[in-house]
Amino acid sequence: MIHRVIISFKPEIPDTLGIRVKNATENFLNLKINSIRTKRVYTIDADLSRDELKLITSELFVDPLIEQIDEYNQKFDWLIEVGYRPGVTDNVGKTAKIAISHLLNRSLKEEEGVYTSIQYLLEGSKLTYQDVEKITKEFLANDLIERWLIRSSRDVKRKRIEILPPVIRGEEKITVKEYDLNVSDNELMKISKEGVLALSLEEMKAIKKYYSGLKIIAERRKMGLSNNPTDVELETLAQTWSEHCKHKIFNALIHYREGEFEEDINSLFKTYIKRGTEELCKKFPWLLSVFVDNAGVISFNERWNISAKVETHNTPSALEPYGGAMTGIVGVNRDPLGTGRGSKLMFNMFAYCFGNLFYKGKMAANLLHPNRIRQGVHQGVIDGGNQSGIPLVMGREIFEERYGEAKPLVYCGPFGIMPKKISGDLAHIKKIEPEDVIVMVGGRIGKDGIHGATFSSEELHKDSPIQAVQIGDPITQKKMRDLLLEARKLNLYKSITDNGAGGLASSVGEMAILSNGCDIDLKKAPLKYQGLHPWEILLSEAQERMTLGVDVTKIDEFLKLAENRDVEATILGRFRNSGKFHVKYDDRTVAYLDLVFLHSGVPQKKLVAIWEHKQHEEPQFQQPKNLSKILNKILSRLNICSTAKKIRQYDHEVKGLSIIKPLIGKEHDVLSDSTISILEHGSTEGLIFASGLNPHYSDIDTYHMTASVIDEAVRRVISVGGKLPSSDIPFAALDNFSWCDPEQSEKTPDGHYKLAQLVRACKALYDYSKAFDLPFISGKDSMKNDGVVFGTKISIPPTLLITVIAKMDDVRKAVTLDLKKPGDLVYIIGETFEELGGSEYFRFIGEHKRGKEYIGNTVPKVNARKAKKIYNLMSQAPEMELVHSITTPTKGGLAIALAKSAFAGGYGIYVRLDKVPYHGDKRDDKILFSESNSRFIVTVPKDKKDSFESIMQGIAFSHIGFVLEKPIFWVKGADGSDVIKTALDDLKKSWTTTLEMM
């Protein structure tokens, strides 16, 4: 029996969702709507008595003080109801089912369920059906996961709304298909394309060859298999060999050319990323587990290790921003959870790159508006993180048109802690032995996210498969996390890994390497609904699941604990020493693959990279007359303005361990350059978090882009009181490359250049990792961030996010960027060059003068030798408590850094540009807006002047001004005239207004 309970707020209670939708609609669609009221709908598909339904309605669904059961008695013109499509996770519905069981003191049947939807009642006499449909598609529903109906008020009054609950009734016959690979090359590629396998011809041929081996044929015959791969096998190979999992571009053999210079690079990963860290492993005993596990692990102190991982979730976030981003954060959370013997999740971070939020033109059919993407992505990570009880330690955003046209980037990542040892064993090492029991824990399996791994390795096109989009369930995951921590303490499992891309195929397949084999039966796997084929069960990327290796003597105890903690745990099979990836379905073998072939059989790619220096137009313009006005305008630009409104919606202090928060200053509205948390209450040892991100430099040279972002991340650590890495100071980095397709092809005629951009970035990563002794402990790449807009291929600018963590011995000496005391002396440390290539200033001037940004050529560079000296000296200042504030000029240069410090402190500032150590065309605008690296702005109390200056000997530094009591921003130009003198409040208003309402 289907029951519908429809609830709305009492008329006197503000309907905040309705108000928000109304505002958005009016702002973006220019439609006049008098009012929007919303109603929550619960569709209950269960056998309930009349009394039971009454009880559920009054005691569970309705808050009697503010809500009422509805009768459509208010005035409206249109009704829209939006609900999920069948199979999409409905978290509220799931909870409602549990709550009903509690209330009725009886369990609902497996096939019974509760499904939620929302009704929007629009009042607006001029609205047409087409308007309402547009509102629905643009703001209320995403076709990929939701369905809707639209009714006029007359229709609603005339007849009941009948909506079938979105139930999946699996009736399909379970099959295992075979593929005949003894076909032409064209046919092979057809198999790959039609199956969304994303395998190249060379890879298909390698697979074909494997299946023709006589030994293989004989072994397969014994298992009852033919010479042809089953769909289970081919799908497993495709996902294991996907770009997402095997990083084929980073492991390719690359022939690199740069003018006369040529070289062969055998794997960018080994040559430039892993090598530097391996060299450092000899020096730094705190490097425990690098590039081998789901997350990198370093030692923090004698009690704790730290695990860290950052991932991207770009394609799903482009298609369904809320679900995609939420799955991004909740999914990557399972990486530390599945590292070594498992970590406790402590902190989260994010970095997003979006298109122009104010874009007014026509959108291509496959793209959502950048603003809609931004809203959804934020909300997804806000809900995912907050509901997981994990505080956000840092978040930043970058805006650039190409992220709106090709793909948005959604980076997020967690940091976890694990004890040094668990029952005498090192906690960062997984142990798997033959005969260990394979157990799947957490959520159930559905068709969710099938082909996620192969799909994310493809560019975004109109027919991207919908199963790739999911919604996370942080509460199911939290329950599982609580169980796993308890089980870890009791030493109930030996190994753990997460089910992410590739599902069980990936988790079991990878763990099986350690024991040299496995054997599982997919029939045992718990399903959300019937009708899944074996390959779908194996490949499903349904969320909130971990795979464990449990010692056979502990299995009963583990299963008992899981049951007590209300978490589903299922035995799937055993790890073996057979050399085989052996999968059965109800005892019939459906996959029997050599583990060595599965993991090492993928042929190495051979690629060509050709670097050429691209000359951009060098902007020629006079210094603007009114620099105050220019500063106001730059402060209001998307890449500079305040994003505090969104940051505040992330819980950044649950656990009570935050020392320097993401929002700081008198009004807590300025983003700190870096943040600090302790790991345990009462401790003074802290962990510093910082990042570097600046894709705008990539258009000139990815080498210097990379150098700049590494410098930015390191400098931010120093600015808050950190020190450069040493054998005593754990300080490690994570690299996340988001690139455009760099493989030369018809679709990518500039592939050679794009690959050279990647090579140059990797070269810089190695060079600066060496220079700063900075090890990279984990990383990830996302290589196909391209899109097609009205027939034109658009690629994102090559983007590298550097995330760093560093230990601080005594957090009580931390320094923040806010000005703190009138009369303090303002210093600049480091040299300023005429480096405006890729700068925010050039972009602004170009847009202003010719409607398109200037890029220029003088990209900021990093002199590592000088920078290292500056950082070593600068880190003594907080240690000796000589300074009141430190900040790091980056985007927008000196001017923006000074302004933000002043905003945070609420005090004015006075500086003289003639005092700034500067090399280049002595123009005030260039000095103010140059983005030279390795610089700090420091404020020093008068009585510490001499001590501070004596420490800085040997590097470029200069006393350039004072902190003022009066809130004005006052800059004297190189010729001694006032080039800016303006009220701080006015500047701050420019800086806050842009995104205040978004």
Partner 1 sequence: MIPKVIIPVGYGLNCEDETSHAFKKVGARVDKIFLMDLIKKPDLLGKYHILAMIGGFSFGDHIAAGKVLANIYRFKLGNDVQQFIDEGKLIFGECNGFQTLVKAGFLPRFERNYGTQYVTLTYNDSGVYEDRWVRLKVNPKAKCVFTKGLDEIYLPVRHGEGKFIVGSKSDLQKLQQRNQIVLQYIDNEGLKTMNYPHNPNGSVEAIAGICDSTGRVFGMMPHATAYLSSYNHPHWTRLKIEDSMPNEGEGIQIFRNAVEYLKKNLI
Q: Which residues form the interface with partner 1 (CB under 8 A)?
A: 13-14, 16-17, 19-20, 59-61, 63-66, 91-92, 94-96, 98-99, 102-103, 382, 386-389, 474-475, 478-479, 482, 564-566, 648-656, 658-661, 663-666, 668, 681-682, 811-812, 814-816, 818, 820-821, 884, 905
Cβ proximity to partner 1: between 212 and 684 the closer is: 684
**Closest CB to partner 1 among 428 and 478?**
478
Question: Residue 263 pairs with which residues in a beta bridge?
Answer: 256
Instruction: State how far the Cα of 592 lies from the Cα of 610, in Å rounded to an integer.
Output: 42
In the complex, minimum distance from the CB of residue 400 to partner 1, in angstroms, rounded to a whole number = 26
Residue 323 contacts residue 380 (beta carbons within 8 Å) = yes
Tell me how far, at minimum, the Cβ of 14 lies from partner 1, in Å: 6
Instruction: Please tell me the distance from the alpha carbon of residue 780 to that of residue 734, in angstroms, as a whole number.
Output: 8
Minimum gap (Å) between residue 901 Cβ and partner 1: 12
Reference 144, options 80, 82, 221; nearest CA is: 82
Strands 311-312 and 409-419, by their bridges, are antiparallel
Cα-flanking dihedrals φ and ψ of residue 534, to 5°?
-50, -45
The bridge status of strand 918-919 relative to strand 832-833 is parallel
Q: Report how far residue 860's alpha carbon sits from residue 934's, in angstroms, rounded to the nearest whole number.
A: 10
CB 332 within 8 A of CB 474: no
**Cα–Cα distance measured from residue 187 to residue 180, given in angstroms and rounded to the nearest whole number:** 10
Smallest distance from the beta carbon of 555 to partner 1, in angstroms?
21
d(C-alpha 211, C-alpha 900), whole Å: 63
Cα 758 from Cα 755, distance rounded (Å): 5
Query: What phi, psi does 886 have (nearest 5°)?
Result: -140, 135
Closest approach, Cβ 368 to partner 1, in A, equals 21
Q: How many CB atoms lie within 10 A of CB 775?
A: 24
Pick from 835, 838, 796: nearest CA to 705: 838
**In the complex, minimum distance from the CB of residue 734 to partner 1, in angstroms, rounded to a whole number:** 25
Cα three-residue angle 961-967-973, rounded to 5 degrees: 40
Separation between Cα atoms, residue 456 and residue 433, nearest integer Å: 33
Which CB sits closer to partner 1, 31 or 659? 659
CB of 25 to partner 1, least distance (A): 15
Q: How many CA atoms lie within 13 A of 134 on its CB side?
A: 12
Q: How far is the CB of 413 from partner 1 (least distance, A)?
A: 19
Interior/surface letters 80-110, b for 16+ CB within 10 angstroms, e for the rest: bbbbbeebbbbbebbebbeebeeebeeebee
Q: Closest approach of Cβ 648 to partner 1, in Å?
A: 5
- Smaller CB distance to partner 1: residue 99 or 176? 99
Q: How far is the CB of 483 from partner 1 (least distance, A)?
A: 9
Nearer to partner 1, 483 or 512 (CB): 483
Q: How far apart are CA 698 and CA 706, in angstroms?
A: 8
Task: Name the 3-class secondary structure at 862.
Answer: coil
- State the Cα–Cα distance between residues 927 and 414, nearest whole angstrom: 38
Look up residue 622 and give its DSSP letter: P
Q: Closest separation between CB of residue 65 and partner 1, Å?
A: 4
CB closer to partner 1 out of 660 and 825: 660
Rounded to the nearest 10 degrees, how much is the dihedral formed by the CA atoms of 872, 874, 878, 883?
A: 170
In the complex with partner 1, the residue whose CB is nearer, 345 or 955, is 345
User: HEC states along 680-734?
Assistant: CCCCCCEEEEEEECCHHHCCCCHHHHHHHHHHHHHHHHHHHCCCCCCCCCCEEEE
> How far apart are the C-alpha atoms of 292 and 592, rounded to whole Å?
25
Rounded Cα distance between 419 and 431, Å, is 16
Specify the residue, 663 or 796, whose C-beta has the smaller distance to partner 1. Answer: 663
Which of residues 64 and 361 has its CB atom nearest to partner 1 in the complex?
64
Comparing CB distances to partner 1, the nearer of 677 and 702 is: 677
How many angstroms separate the CA atoms of 247 and 778, rounded?
A: 13
Q: Which is nearer to partner 1, 682 or 791 (CB)?
A: 682
Write the DSSP symbol of residue 578. S
Q: Identify which of residues 492 and 765 has a Cβ nearer to partner 1 in the complex.
A: 492
Say how far apart CA 526 and CA 118 lie, in whole Å. Answer: 30
> What are the beta bridge partners of residue 299?
305
d(Cα 423, Cα 481) in Å, to the nearest integer?
A: 19
Nearer of residues 677 and 803 to partner 1, judged by Cβ: 677
Cα-only R_g, the chain: 29
d(CA 498, CA 547) in angstroms, rounded, equals 6
Question: 820 vs 988, which CB is nearer to partner 1?
Answer: 820
Nearer to partner 1, 656 or 851 (CB): 656
Nearest to 768 by CA among 865, 691, 882: 865
820 vs 891, which CB is nearer to partner 1? 820
The single-letter DSSP state of residue 247 is -
CA distances from 437 to 5, 144, 485 (A): 45, 38, 19
Nearest approach in angstroms of CB 377 to partner 1 is: 15
The least distance separating partner 1 from the CB of residue 18, rounded to whole angstroms, comes to 10
Whole-number minimum distance, CB 656 to partner 1, in Å?
4
Nearer to partner 1, 59 or 946 (CB): 59
Rounded Cα distance between 102 and 109, Å, is 13
Q: Which is nearer to partner 1, 82 or 765 (CB)?
A: 82
CB 348, min distance to partner 1, A:
13
